[in-house]
Amino acid sequence: MGSMLNSMMRLRTRAFLLVVPYIVAALVKMVQYNLKKITVVPNGKEMIDIVLSRTQRQTPTVVHKGYAISRLRQFYMRKVKYTQQNFHDKLSAIIDEFPRLDGIHPFYGDLLHVLYNKDHYKLALGQVNTARNLISKIAKDYVRLLKYGDSLYRCKCLKVAALGRMCTIIKRISPSLAYLEQVRQHMARLPSIDPNTRTMLICGCPNVGKSSFMNKITRAEVDVQPYAFTTKSLFVGHTDYKYLRYQVIDTPGILDRPFEDRNIIEMCSITALAHLRAAVLFFLDISGACGYTIGQQQRLFNEIKSLFMNKPLIIVCNKTDLQPFDTLPEQDKKLIEEMKADAMKTVLGQGGEATSEEGVLLTMSALTEDGVIAVKNAACERLLDQRVELKMKSKKINDCLNRFHVAMPKPRDQKERPPCIPPGVLEAKAKEAAAQAEKEKRKTERDLEDENGGAGVYSASLKKHYILANDEWKEDIMPEILDGHNVYDFVDPDILHRLEELEREEGLRLADEAEDDFEMDGEELTPEEREALAEIRRTKSLLIQQHRMKKSTAGSRPIVPRKFDKDRQFTTERMGRQLTKLGLDPSAAINRARSKSRGRKRERSPEVMGEGDAMDLDNEQSNKKMRAMSRSRSRSRSKSRPPTEVVPGEGLKDSVQKGKAIKLAKKSAKKRNKNARKGEADRVILNMKPKHLFSGKRGIGKTDRR
């Protein structure tokens, strides 16, 4: 019995040891390439503020002269050690979270080297590491000195010197911290690429249709433009084939030039081709619309074909809608056949069979989507075959095959059991097909747009689904603001009834005018009156034309006061001459203009006058004073309007509504006035010194430090 238990324990231990490496590898794989969770790197000033503020808040702050010297030493040693530990934790987090270029996948190592120059990257991390060691050494030295401090003053000076030297070291590495923060931000924007999963890599010359193909087979929205180098970095999308997830990487275009002359954008593509085990799709633009001939594209293929070794390779002839493959010149066809032969050598070098020649050269059009799915399926199939073949050749397959068992059910009788679909499922499928057909028949806004000239020409009507009594009303123009008033305030539900009444009244008025038969046609006038009428009409037309001319030339200005009328153009004499010229009596108009009040003079009381003045005014007092008093009584002073009185044009219904609006306005401004804001746009923060950085520790029993 004991031997059986021992054997069972050994088996379980062995199973556990077999499983642990896979668990560890999975965990490492999850955290190894997650570049988006690196903590923000503070600059030198921020790090000093954070650490010193934490030291101030988390360590004792009150010390007295009467303390024993051992207590004073312990008090200041604690501050130095706590500050050193905080700096050590911050700097260690920076060093540990940033990936080490020698310890990650070569793809990420080379990509980071291309983007940031690994020498600068390592130098910045090395300076942070050196600063961490120096701060630890400073703390150790000053703690040793503090052990022999002989007074409160000496201990305090040693503490200040220790913290000052630590802050000086942090200030010196401020450029390195700023550089690492920029690198962190850029690394967070890099796509999450898994180097070990099933991957399809799209490469080729610029503007040959790589991004268009990726947008067709994945849900990635890569920018597509009709010019070169629209894609400036690596883009990742995902697609499915045979219930497996595939990673699709769109690379920037590569130019046919020496390796030393390539820029950072091209080196991203070269890095992905060199380090990722993926199915490579080399795109050819056989129409020449990309700006590169087939000969130039073949030279690029020959230059980078060493990067295709031990990888499934497919040559994709794109843009067959512009240039069908059959209509190519013989010389171009010969170049493509040479590229196909080189690709076959790569396939045969992997141990592939000659039957795989069918999937080496494919044609497609990303615009018409002709052959897009065939290219995707061929790439996925060849990549899957290669991965299975490599796993079958590995040594681990024997251990795995021993654990697999495929169960084959035995027939229990000779009865045929064909697949059966329940009637309810068939009915549901038929209804779904009918609904789909009806949906396809109905024209959408996109269909209407295509029929009426496309985007920018056709504008969809937002009113065609309005539910109105008459469909002709849908396109009526309803202004929101008219003459400075809100139209909705004047909408009356009985407007049609009132309009009918107005039209009826207008008809009666026109009928009365027709009965009166009064018309200034000039037949019943004398020759002099006819001439006056013609002159009046001519002058009126001239005034209208003059007004229109002034209005069109920005001459519509307010009337200037008479004291500024230097040319004396607007006087009663001039008006009298013009009216007399027209044959009219100007006396009534002149008297009316002269009698118009120009203001009110202050009357002096008899008490204020002198004796001579009083005697001179005795005779005229009864007349002039009475006239002045009657005039002052007839003309009352202007009164100030109450705030709730409605003024025409405000858009408010009555004084009650205006009072509510005033109350709401005051209530909304109350919070702003409490904060002493000048207005809604006042964003000034006057507290430039946060109290938690410039105040001491809270006392016993006091919980409100504000």
Looking at the fold, whether 302 and 347 belong to one and the same domain comes out as yes
Q: Please state the separation of Cα 182 from the chain's center in Å.
A: 21
Segments forming the whole domain that contains residue 169:
37-186
pLDDT > 50? residue 698: yes
pLDDT digits (tens, 9 = 90+) for 75-107: 999 999 999 999 999 999 999 999 888 878 888
Looking at the fold, whether 309 and 224 belong to one and the same domain comes out as yes
Looking at the fold, whether 104 and 215 belong to one and the same domain comes out as no
Alpha carbon distance, N-terminus to C-terminus of the chain: 73
Residue 288 lies in a domain: yes
Last residue of a domain, one of 396, 426, 452: 396
Looking at the fold, whether 129 and 248 belong to one and the same domain comes out as no
Looking at the fold, whether 172 and 307 belong to one and the same domain comes out as no
Looking at the fold, whether 237 and 152 belong to one and the same domain comes out as no
Looking at the fold, whether 246 and 177 belong to one and the same domain comes out as no
Looking at the fold, whether 365 and 222 belong to one and the same domain comes out as yes
CA 18, 22, 25, 31 torsion: positive or negative? negative
pLDDT > 70? residue 584: yes
Lowest mean pLDDT among 132-141, 444-453, 550-559: 550-559
- In whole angstroms, give the CA distance from residue 361 to residue 687: 70
Sheet holding 361-363, edge to edge: 235-241, 244-250, 199-204, 279-285, 313-318, 361-363
Residue 595 lies in a domain: no
Last residue of a domain, one of 186, 219, 236: 186
Residue 247 lies in a domain: yes
Residue 17 lies in a domain: no
pLDDT digits (tens, 9 = 90+) for 162-183: 999 999 999 999 999 999 999 9
Residue 596 lies in a domain: no
- In whole angstroms, give the CA distance from residue 54 to residue 49: 8
Q: How many domains would you assign to the chain? A: 2
Looking at the fold, whether 282 and 357 belong to one and the same domain comes out as yes
pLDDT digits (tens, 9 = 90+) for 424-447: 999 999 999 888 887 777 778 888
| Residues sharing a CB contact under 8 Å with residue 211, sequence separation 6 or more, in sequence order | 222, 223, 224, 230, 231, 235, 250
Burial class (CB in 10 A: 0-12, 13-18, 19+), 668: exposed
Looking at the fold, whether 361 and 305 belong to one and the same domain comes out as yes
- In whole angstroms, give the CA distance from residue 122 to residue 561: 82
Instruction: Look at residue 691 in the predicted model and tell me its pLDDT.
Output: 67
Residue 68 lies in a domain: yes
Q: How many CB atoms lie within 10 A of CB 278?
A: 23
pLDDT > 60? residue 251: yes
Of all residues in the chain, what percent carry a pLDDT higher than 90?
A: 19
Burial class (CB in 10 A: 0-12, 13-18, 19+), 469: exposed
pLDDT digits (tens, 9 = 90+) for 191-230: 888 888 899 999 988 888 888 898 888 888 888 887 777 7
Residue 300 lies in a domain: yes
- In whole angstroms, give the CA distance from residue 434 to residue 211: 36
- In whole angstroms, give the CA distance from residue 122 to residue 120: 6
Domain at 286, CATH number: 3.40.50.300
Looking at the fold, whether 174 and 211 belong to one and the same domain comes out as no
Residue 647 lies in a domain: no
Torsion of CA 63, 67, 68, 71, to 10 degrees: -30
pTM to 2 decimal places: 0.52
Last residue of a domain, one of 396, 418, 451: 396
Mean pLDDT value of segment 631-645? 66
70: which 2 tokens? 């051992």
Instruction: Look at residue 369 in the predicted model and tell me its pLDDT.
Output: 85
Looking at the fold, whether 141 and 290 belong to one and the same domain comes out as no
Domain at 101, CATH number: 1.20.120.1190
